[in-house]
Structure 1
């Protein structure tokens, strides 16, 4: 199989797909932030960087079986400026639509913030859904998922999965957390107004930026002993942030830079990259469901 990661960041989609049992002969990734590019190269040395997503029309690569994209969310975010698709960052999703239309992968996965489902962005969301639907032949499904179902951070994100309709053997969503972990009825409250399906042209409607950890006396998150007797507040470490997303310890520590040297990624950039990352176990769970219900 061939994978194309757009807006690839530190490779959360690659890791999630691998955790779900996918194996790729070739991985292509598109990213413009130099530290994220370097880190991706370090962790996935077999991957090929194809430049900016804005040049996707000119890229000559093998047809990807899967395309993933966590497109910029700033203009859809609850703490953003609310400009939606009029914003410079969030409007870049149009290049992902262009990539799907150009390569026609078997599967594509789009991740974005909960704000894309807010009333003020409803028209933008439906225009994006319509753009994918107009390509023709794809079944689209989406749901609001939360990293808290798998890891100790609340991070609600919308996941949209597109699959060639004739290869669908079942539904990907709804996807719910295990009952034994989250209690009876929890699924319904999470699911409400956060899920939908579109079959070809038929419509059926239905921040990790805060790195503060509040610790009580004797409590730790990363295994470091503490003898303090009073409550304290401190910054999360980079390792803790990696764990909160399901990445291995030290995943963001090193990068292979343009001159070929392996260097330590600056701490501030590690935080920034993790703030933009997708959560690995969430991607893995979506990917497993795709695998179970798709004829590859």
Structure 2
């Protein structure tokens, strides 16, 4: 039986690094609304992408140009955070995944982005919040032969936290997308509490893309819902690709085949399957990577991608069409963040919840 920390928890003040458009923060607000156990208070957020910061400010309650810093974390002055909130209860950081993604070169700690997690460690040591939530791609567990994740976990523990890393398959929690992400939850050791992975709610009853996109039709004037004008050759190619197929395994006429050598990504011109979750929504990539409708010969709109990421239609992304695509693909699904925040708060309050025994990642690669 875990001890209760605070039966009357009223507010959780949240700080964020690499905050993106606000998927984690919005999910935390959803958790607060559902559980009625706490009120989320935005403290500050840092991200280095201008349109992304504008999106965060527009949609996250309490956020303002004074509390959202659009700066490079490598040159950011931490004193700016002290001037706003000298203490926070929770800290979230989805440190950049570029060097850990299986799609990229997987440079891990040797890349430009790999070491950026250390700024999260610095924030933990400075602010000592009661808990943190860190997020990255599943590929981080194999980067640098497993040494990268071992080093990160060791440093998070050394900062004073009991940690529970787990590879979440978000389609098992009601997200209509096969999105697999490593989430590390840490609880301050002095609280003598252990976070447990919440039990999947949709393991045998996935939400499909048709559930997400058609059960409640998107209004024609919804935010970020402009359709891409497909070229005639792309339309013709898509008409030969069946749901679930891509440009490599479909039966394409010779003039529609792609002249590509080397690695052939399975998502190139891959069409969705109406009765299954989407494949992973990405934030970048050239032709053929925009996620394709199962019935209509076209790429999804940004609003449809946002639906598959569980952002509500009222959530307005700012910036150019390609910038919005980037923001959506890089974000944490709010519904996934909601599930994790619910479990974190119940852990802090000593409230039981359904959980599973997660495989340990401690010591991986060593």
Query: Structures share a fold, TM > 0.5?
Result: yes
| Match among 183, 194, 197 for residue 159 of structure 1 | 183
- SS of the equivalent of 1:160 reads strand
Structure 2 CA distance for partners of 1:69 and 1:180, relative to 1, 3 Å: same
| Match among 263, 267, 284 for residue 338 of structure 2 | 284
Structure with more of its chain in strand, by fraction: 1
User: Could you tell me which residue of structure 2 aligns to residue 193 of structure 1?
Assistant: none
Query: Which 10-residue stretch deviates more, 152-161 or 120-129?
Result: 120-129
User: Could you tell me which residue of structure 2 aligns to residue 58 of structure 1?
Assistant: 79
4+ residue segments displaced more than 4 Å: none
CA RMSD in angstroms comes to: 2.0
User: Could you tell me which residue of structure 2 aligns to residue 38 of structure 1?
Assistant: 54
Paired with 2:315 and 2:103, the residues of 1 have a C-alpha distance of 28
1:121 to partner: Cα distance: 4.5
Please tell me whether the aligned partners of residues 252 and 270 of structure 1 are also in contact (alpha carbons under 8 angstroms). Answer: no
Mapping for residues 201-220 of structure 1, pairs under 5 Å: 207-209=280-282, 210-216=289-295
**Higher alpha-carbon Rg:** 2
Paired with 1:215 and 1:50, the residues of 2 have a C-alpha distance of 40
User: Could you tell me which residue of structure 2 aligns to residue 194 of structure 1?
Assistant: none
Query: Which 10-residue stretch deviates more, 2-11 or 15-24?
Result: 15-24
1:5 to partner: Cα distance: 1.2
Paired with 1:289 and 1:97, the residues of 2 have a C-alpha distance of 22
Please tell me whether the aligned partners of residues 12 and 278 of structure 1 are also in contact (alpha carbons under 8 angstroms). Answer: yes
1:176 to partner: Cα distance: 2.6
| Match among 130, 155, 178 for residue 106 of structure 1 | 130
Mapping for residues 117-132 of structure 1, pairs under 5 Å: 117-118=141-142, 120-132=144-156
1:174 to partner: Cα distance: 5.5
- SS of the equivalent of 2:340 reads helix
Please tell me whether the aligned partners of residues 67 and 109 of structure 1 are also in contact (alpha carbons under 8 angstroms). Answer: yes
Gaps of 5+ in 1: 183-206, 217-231, 255-264
Paired with 1:73 and 1:110, the residues of 2 have a C-alpha distance of 11
User: Could you tell me which residue of structure 2 aligns to residue 69 of structure 1?
Assistant: 93
Please tell me whether the aligned partners of residues 167 and 295 of structure 1 are also in contact (alpha carbons under 8 angstroms). Answer: no
Which deviations, in whole Å up to 9, do the C-alpha atoms of 1:170-189 show, x marking residues without a partner?
Answer: 5322543445526xxxxxxx
Paired with 1:236 and 1:168, the residues of 2 have a C-alpha distance of 47
Which deviations, in whole Å up to 9, do the C-alpha atoms of 1:162-207 show, x marking residues without a partner?
Answer: 001243545322543445526xxxxxxxxxxxxxxxxxxxxxxxx4
Gaps of 5+ in 2: 1-11, 33-37, 207-279, 283-288, 351-366
Paired with 1:25 and 1:251, the residues of 2 have a C-alpha distance of 19
| Match among 87, 97, 100 for residue 111 of structure 2 | 87
